[in-house]
Amino acid sequence: MKKDTFYLTTPIYYVNDLPHIGHAYTTIVADAIARHARLSGKDVYFLTGSDEHGQKIERAAQKQGLEPRQLVDRVVKRFQQLWKRLEISNDDFIRTTEPRHRKGVEDLFRAVKARGDIYLDRYRGWYCTGCESFYTVTQLVDGRCPEQGHPVEELEEESYFFRLSRYQDALLEHYQKHPEFVRPETRLNEAREFVRSGLRDLSISRTGFDWGIPVPGDDRHVLYVWFDALTNYMAAAGYGADPKRFGKLWPADLHLVGKDILRFHAVYWPAFLMSAGLPLPRTVFGHGWWLTAQGKMSKSKGKVVDPVPLIEQFGVDPLRYFLLREMTFGQDGAYSDEALIDRINSDLANDLGNLVQRTLAMVHSYLDGQVEPPDENVLPESASLGALARKSLGAYREHMDSYAFSVGLAALWDLVGGINRFLVKHEPWRKPDGKDDEARRAAVLGSAVEGLRWVALGIAASMPESAETLLELLGFPKKELQAGYDALEWGRWKEKPTRCKRAEALFPRIDKQAYFATPAAASTSGDRSPNSRRNSMDTVPDQITIQEFQRIKLRTAKITAAERVEGTDRLLKIEVDLGDGKRTIVSGIAEQYSADSLVGKMVVVVTNLKPARIRGVDSNGMLLAAGVGAEDRPIICTFEEEVPPGAPVR
């Protein structure tokens, strides 16, 4: 088979609600894989998108008094904005409400039907709208869905069925011949067990609601949302529309999914494709879950970690690094703010950040900012650092190729440690003893700079922006990253000497004590909408006493000036007048309000909130706002009648 393109996908996420850290996780992992593959010289096609049909979306819209279309149009933007902020380098974003998708679904249905694999019958059983999944009574656990414990409802309706039972043997044979089809191995075993235990035909249409793609030739039915959703992977590749493009991209190399949706990808999807006579994807990787102290994150139970405040608090790259480094890919991982801060402080601030800062400071103190590549004639040990760089980056690449991100990054950090040890051993801070010794010192620092150039390539897939910053700090053009790993040669610089920039903290240290001392509402998320949650998910009591409430000082305040916080989409720096003085507050409402429209408004401010530094701005207080709809749109609290600034609110 041909195919030079490496085609990888994420699940397409339901847009009934806002993205959380689990969605961010899969997408960041996919992005790191895509970037790593590009750096390895592969032609990559990286797809993500949104799953916009089905009863779950229809009901979420009804709850908010919206048409499904209005809801999905709003929520999809929040996903797209988040991917932009997280530096996701997807080549395409498919929405299942697009015509190209619908055409793909209709074509697949017709192909499967032409094979004689579709028939009309009655479905009797249970349906879980949360998972959009059918269950038999024996599969239910305590009357709820066995996957996530969602409530289920009994259905009895006419339905089109797919002859899944026909594919039992073919699936088992495929798992046997291509064990790489489902990874890791434990998930292959799960899929195999599921198939071995016997496959029943699958209901693939519903009649009770409208929000979906009608069954071709029978618009009383809409297609089952999973039949619809899975087809996105082919529709985006040009299935049924552009055979040349489809031939170039299909089959996909990697479907990256969470273990919750493994069965759909490892059993149903290949069966649909076999039926339609199409090649199967190479690998479905089912990764584990991020768990919190309360168990699995669940939107319905409100136990989710919102990535937006984390980005604002800690930065995009540290969050990406943490997610990739902390979780053993494939297994479950425990999320906590503490683990995140510890990881940032140890690996990024202490190990890498300090090394960069120290090296640059010395380059400026001793070499006037200018460095030559390491000269092995002057310093033979430079060659052993070069050997370590090759070994460590080589190991990193191998682990990344096999999706062992955590192990890969640990291997890369061997180089970070090696450069640190190299400096300790050769003591460039020691006063040189004559000209030769001066040259030796320059070669020590040249070796450290060279080592860090290799580290920059190594972090480019996980922390793309920091990789560019690091290269530029070292005095190399950031476009060097585009040349990929293979362009690296120890000590070979296109231009020399390089002029290093002044030392700066690449990854600032987080003051853990101060962070945890901050009251929940002041988690300095910058997300000042009322739904802003402290991500450690401290349990908020159902009731508090009046005395507890009185500890929060609320006052009226007049907005006297507002401007966008530089480099952010959502943050405004707002100056308010409290009658007895002015103060500055950073608020995450820029998507809803322009700076000018706010000036003159009377608002409510929490005045005794611990000050916080947000994106370089000191924020003193918090502005109250309602959080409206699934996308948590902030609407600020104002007054019915004119009030003076500084009046207490209680």
Residue 219: exposed, middle, or buried by beta-carbon count in 10 A (0-12, 13-18, 19+)?
exposed
Q: Would you count residue 229 as binding ligand ME8 (CB under 6 A)? A: yes
Judged by CB under 6 A, does residue 14 bind ligand ME8? yes
Q: Which two tokens stand for residue 475?
A: 């005095």
Which of these ranges, 20-28, 169-177, 346-354, 367-375, lies near ligand ME8 under the rule CB under 6 A? 20-28
- Owner of token pair 């480094």: 325
For 139-155, the DSSP string reads: G-BTTB-TTT--B-EEE
Q: Out of 6, 8, 18, 23, which residue is the one contacting ligand ME8 (CB under 6 A)?
A: 23
> Closest CB to ligand ME8 among 258 and 374?
258
Q: Which residue's CB is nearer to ligand ME8, number 222 or number 257?
A: 257
Residue 22 or 526: which CB sits closer to ligand ME8? 22
Is residue 37 involved in binding ligand ME8 (CB under 6 A)? Answer: no
Q: Which helix (H) or strand (E) holds 135?
A: strand 133-135
Of the two residues 167 and 272, which places its CB atom closer to ligand ME8 in the complex? Answer: 272
Q: How far is the CB of 538 from ligand ME8 (least distance, A)?
A: 19
Residue with the closest Cβ to ligand ME8?
22
Q: Is the peptide bond before 464 cis (omega within 30 degrees of 0)?
A: no
The interface region with ligand ME8, picked from 111-119, 226-234, 344-352, 578-586 by CB under 6 A, is 226-234
Query: CB under 6 A: which stretch of 87-95, 256-264, 337-345, 395-403 binds ligand ME8?
Result: 256-264
Question: What is the footprint of ligand ME8 within residues 47-76 (CB under 6 A)?
Answer: 51
- CA 429 vs CA 95, 353, 354, 361, 451: distances in Å: 57, 19, 15, 11, 18
Closest separation between CB of residue 229 and ligand ME8, Å? 4
Distance CA 111, CA 116 (A): 9
Count of chain residues binding ligand ME8 (CB under 6 A): 20
- Find how far residue 382's CA is from the centre of its chain: 38
Contacts with 321 (C-beta within 8 Å, 6 or more apart), sequence order: 343, 344, 347, 348, 409, 459, 462, 463
Q: Per the structure block, which two tokens stand in for 84?
A: 């932009």
With binding defined as CB under 6 A, does residue 260 bind ligand ME8?
Answer: yes
| Nearest approach, Cβ of residue 561 and ligand ME8 (Å) | 40
Q: Is 274 one of the binding residues for ligand ME8 (CB under 6 A)?
A: no
Instruction: With CA atoms as reference, report the closest residue to 622 among 596, 587, 572, 594.
Output: 587
CA proximity to 261, closest of 304, 224, 226, 223: 226
CA pair distance 132, 122, nearest whole angstrom: 18
| Among positions 5, 7, 22, 400, the unique one binding ligand ME8 when judged by CB under 6 A | 22
Phi-psi region at 599: left, alpha or beta (left = phi > 0; alpha = psi -120 to 50): beta
Of 8, 12, 449, 636, the residue at the interface with ligand ME8 (CB under 6 A) is 12
Site for ligand ME8 contains 25 (CB under 6 A): yes
Among 297, 356, 362, 565, binds ligand ME8 (CB under 6 A): 297
Q: Which stretch binds ligand ME8 (CB under 6 A): 118-126, 182-190, 254-262, 634-642?
A: 254-262
How far apart CA 543 and CA 168 sit, in angstroms, is 54
Supply the minimum distance, in Å, between the C-beta of residue 114 and ligand ME8: 23
Q: Which residues bind ligand ME8 (CB under 6 A)?
A: 11-14, 22-23, 25-26, 51, 229-230, 232, 257-258, 260-261, 289-290, 296-297
